[in-house]
Every structure is written in structure tokens, then in C-alpha cells.
């Protein structure tokens, strides 16, 4: 661009000189007819002087105009450099010295302008990155370099990830690069956290047999994560569920689950919880504990829900077995208590009759002991029967 501007100035000045020479030649031819030789010579010298002055003035103002354009361009570039929200610095190719930095650079790295002026690009990198930047500078050609991810270091010693782009600065004698820095530390670390969480999820999934699902309210489609096919026996190419229809939920449980799900739409509840029987590929049913969390848009409408289905089939069947056994024990206890109390009641009645009959003192004392023991046995049977019906363990003293 600069070479083109200089060429325009040269062409303009040569064109102007040619025009001046042609005009001067015409005037000389005209004056040679009407004037004497000395007068012609003086006129020629004067005309040359005038043309030289005019040419010098034109050249001066042209160069001055060009200089002002250059100064304005440099000022604009300097303003863009300093006001850029991206950190930018200029580094010398030969010795890695930092030649200039902008305000965003000082803000990100924590160094002042004076400190940067005494530093090299190695000083803003951890030691393990030094050889990498040396190799890049040694093998790079006179072109811009592709963007790459680097590890940089701040003044406080904190290391962070950046993506930098090198742009060659051709006007500097020893060669230099303008380097634009993009702080991607948060995105890199967030990606690492996501990968760690996914790895943790895989471990938890294998340990708990939970099946994670992702439901889209707009399309009414649910996406099953890893473990669904293995847990419920469906093939990978099986058709997707229509979630709101809940066709695979046991008919006896379906209505209550649909009512719980409807509260998310009507009452804007964030949490979903239900226990129900879910149909497997072979037609059998498994007991499921299902939890979900709804995500709402800016208008307060649900757009997505993430949940986890926990297989509690063994637990539920064990609970049902315990309840069944408990009912059987209650029935047995009730029968036993009545079977025991019938002869016991007879004994108590006979004791009462014996007491009313004339007997000696020793026999009467024995009968009293028998009456007390029978009464204690009757109280124990009543207590066992009562606590068995209430589902408590009998407390015998």
C-alpha cells in the first residue's frame, strides 16, 4: 500500500514536470519571435526559476500530505492496538524481546508497561513451554503462523491456557510478530471438568445401575444414556419413547405418574419423583424409582428435564416378601394367642371354683400361686397379641 502511494507521487510529479516543460517550450518559441536574445535568455531563466519553485512547492505539499496520511494511519493503528479488548504484544523474532504491549495485556498478565519492556516472551511462559516457542521461531517462515493453544504464566505465578495468533510485522528490520492472545483457560478447564464428570458418571452408573435420561419438552422425545438397553433389554435400534404417553409404565401406576409429571407443566415444579413399574423388552415389569430436574426458559416454560431411573426391583420384591411374612406372622400370632387363651381361661375358671370349695390352708396357698401364674400368663398372651397386631416386637420381662 505504501509503495503504491509513493508510485502515485512520482507519477504525478513526472506528469507535472512534463506539462511544465511543454508549456515552457511553447513560451520560449513565442518569445523568440517577438523579443531580442538577451531578453529571451532572461525570460528563460526566470521561467525556469518559477517552474522550479512551483514544482518544489507542489512536491513539498504532496509529501506533507502523504506524511499526514501516514501519521493518521499510524495513530489509528496505535489506537486500535491500545484499545483492543484482546491482549496484544509485539515480539522480536531474533531475541524474543517484547517490544510493545497494550493495556489489555497488562491487565491479563499483571505486569506494568515498564516491566514488559524489560521482558522476553519466555518470561510469560512456564519453563516447559520455552523450547516449544524457540522451535516455532526457528522454523517459521516470513508468514503468519496458525493459531495454537499455549500455556502462559501471570505475574503471580498462575498458569493458564491461551490461544495465540502470530502476525508478521514486515516494517521492522530484524523481523517481528504481532501476537494476539485469547484467554481460553475457563473453557479448557470447563471441558476438563465435563470430561471428569462424565468419567465419574460412568463409574457411578456401573456401581448403581442408574439410567440417565434427557427429555425435550418441545419435541416430546426422551434420550436414554448408557445402560438403558442393558437394564431393560431393549435393542439399540428400538423406537424412541413418546414420553408423555408413558406407554411402558404399568397401567396401574400410569395415572399417578402422569399426575406427578403434569405438576411440572401446571405448577412449574422443578423436581419430579415417582415410583412405578416399568415394562422390559420381554414383557416383564421392574420397579423403578425415578427422579428428574426440569430446566425452564426465560418465559418460565419447561424446555428440558434431566433424570435418573434407579432399578429398585429387588428391593421392592424383598419388601413385599417381608410384608407378606409379617402378615403371616400376625395371623399365626393371633391364632396362637387364641388357642393358648382358651385352655388358660378354663384353668382360671377351675381355680375360681376350687377357691370356693372347702379345702385346707396348704392347698389354698398353692391354688393362689397357680392363680397368680395363670394371670401373668394371660397378661403375656394379651400383650404379645397386641404388639404383634401393631407390628412391634414383643417386650417380655
Task: Output the DSSP codes for 243-265.
Answer: GGG-TTB-HHHHHHHHHHHHHHH
Spacing of C-alpha 207 from chain mean position: 25
Q: How confident is the model at residue 158 (pLDDT cuts 50, 70, 90)?
A: very high
CA distance 10 to 56: 13
* pTM check: above 0.95: no
**Residues of the chain with pLDDT > 90: what percent?**
13
| pLDDT for 153 beyond 90 | yes
Q: What is the pLDDT of residue 396?
A: 42
Q: What is the pLDDT of residue 397?
A: 46
Q: What is the pLDDT of residue 41?
A: 54
Q: How confident is the model at residue 1 (pLDDT cuts 50, 70, 90)?
A: very low
Q: What is the pLDDT of residue 344?
A: 63
CA distance 262 to 264: 5
| pLDDT for 201 beyond 70 | no
Mean pLDDT across the stretch 160-167? 88
Strand residues in 297-336 grouped as ranges (E) = 302-311
Mean pLDDT across the stretch 167-173? 68
Residues 6+ apart with CB under 8 A from 397: none
Beta strands 176-183 and 88-92 are antiparallel
| pLDDT for 393 beyond 50 | no
SS3 call for 92: strand
258 Rama class: left (phi>0) / alpha (psi -120 to 50) / beta: alpha
Q: What is the pLDDT of residue 29?
A: 62
Residues 58-108 have pLDDT tens digits of 777 777 777 787 777 677 777 777 888 889 999 888 888 998 899 999 999
100 Rama class: left (phi>0) / alpha (psi -120 to 50) / beta: beta
Q: What is the pLDDT of residue 394?
A: 47
CA distance 98 to 336: 97
| pLDDT for 215 beyond 80 | yes
Tell me if 276 sits within 8 A of 253, measured CB to CB: yes
Residues 327-385 have pLDDT tens digits of 766 766 666 666 566 666 666 666 666 666 665 665 666 667 667 767 766 776 677 66
For the ranges 15-19, 22-26, 302-306, 368-372, the maximum mean pLDDT occurs at 302-306
- What does the mean pLDDT of the chain come to? 75
Q: What is the pLDDT of residue 124?
A: 93
| pLDDT for 33 beyond 50 | yes
Q: How confident is the model at residue 206 (pLDDT cuts 50, 70, 90)?
A: low
CA distance 38 to 26: 18
Q: How confident is the model at residue 204 (pLDDT cuts 50, 70, 90)?
A: low
Q: What is the pLDDT of residue 253?
A: 92
Nearest to 255 by CA among 277, 271, 234: 277
Mean pLDDT across the stretch 297-321? 81
Mean pLDDT across the stretch 237-245? 59
| 315 or 378, which is more confident | 315
For the ranges 173-177, 209-213, 373-377, 384-388, the maximum mean pLDDT occurs at 209-213
Amino acid at each position: 500500500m505504501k509503495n503504491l502511494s509513493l508510485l502515485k507521487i512520482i507519477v504525478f510529479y513526472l506528469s507535472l514536470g512534463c506539462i511544465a516543460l511543454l508549456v515552457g517550450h511553447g513560451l520560449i518559441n513565442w518569445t523568440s519571435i517577438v523579443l531580442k536574445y538577451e531578453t529571451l535568455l532572461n525570460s528563460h531563466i526566470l521561467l525556469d526559476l518559477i517552474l522550479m519553485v512551483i514544482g518544489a512547492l507542489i512536491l513539498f505539499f504532496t509529501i506533507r500530505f502523504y506524511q499526514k496520511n501516514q501519521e493518521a494511519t499510524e495513530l489509528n493503528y496505535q489506537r486500535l492496538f491500545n484499545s483492543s479488548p484482546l491482549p496484544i504484544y509485539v515480539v522480536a523474532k531474533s531475541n524474543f524481546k517484547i517490544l510493545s504491549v497494550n493495556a489489555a495485556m497488562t491487565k491479563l498478565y499483571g505486569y506494568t508497561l515498564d516491566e514488559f519492556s524489560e521482558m522476553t516472551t519466555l518470561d510469560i511462559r512456564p519453563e516447559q513451554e520455552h523450547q516449544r516457542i524457540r522451535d516455532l521461531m526457528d522454523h517459521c517462515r516470513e508468514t503468519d503462523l496458525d493459531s495454537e493453544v499455549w500455556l502462559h504464566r501471570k505475574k503471580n505465578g498462575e498458569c493458564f491456557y491461551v490461544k495465540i495468533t502470530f502476525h508478521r510485522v514486515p516494517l521492522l528490520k530484524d523481523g517481528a510478530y504481532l501476537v494476539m492472545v485469547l484467554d481460553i483457560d475457563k473453557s479448557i478447564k470447563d471441558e476438563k471438568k465435563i470430561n471428569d464428570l462424565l468419567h465419574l458418571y460412568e463409574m457411578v452408573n456401573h456401581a448403581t445401575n442408574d439410567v440417565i435420561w434427557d427429555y425435550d419438552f418441545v419435541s416430546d422425545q426422551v434420550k436414554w444414556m448408557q445402560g438403558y438397553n442393558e437394564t431393560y433389554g431393549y435393542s439399540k435400534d428400538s423406537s424412541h419413547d413418546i414420553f408423555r404417553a408413558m406407554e411402558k409404565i404399568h397401567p396401574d401406576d400410569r395415572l399417578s405418574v402422569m399426575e406427578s409429571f403434569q405438576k411440572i407443566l401446571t405448577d412449574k415444579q422443578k423436581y419430579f419423583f415417582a415410583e412405578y413399574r416399568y415394562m422390559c423388552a420381554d414383557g416383564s415389569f421392574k420397579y423403578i424409582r425415578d427422579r428428574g430436574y426440569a430446566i425452564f426458559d426465560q418465559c418460565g416454560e419447561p424446555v428440558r428435564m434431566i433424570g435418573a431411573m434407579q432399578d429398585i426391583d429387588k428391593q421392592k420384591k424383598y419388601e413385599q416378601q417381608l410384608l407378606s411374612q409379617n402378615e403371616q406372622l400376625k395371623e399365626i400370632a393371633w391364632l396362637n394367642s387364641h388357642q393358648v387363651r382358651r385352655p388358660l381361661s378354663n384353668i382360671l375358671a377351675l381355680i375360681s371354683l376350687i377357691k370356693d370349695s372347702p379345702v385346707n390352708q396348704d392347698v389354698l396357698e398353692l391354688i393362689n400361686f397357680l392363680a397368680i401364674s395363670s394371670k401373668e400368663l394371660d397378661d403375656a398372651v394379651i400383650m404379645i397379641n397386641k404388639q404383634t397386631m401393631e407390628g412391634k416386637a414383643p417386650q417380655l420381662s
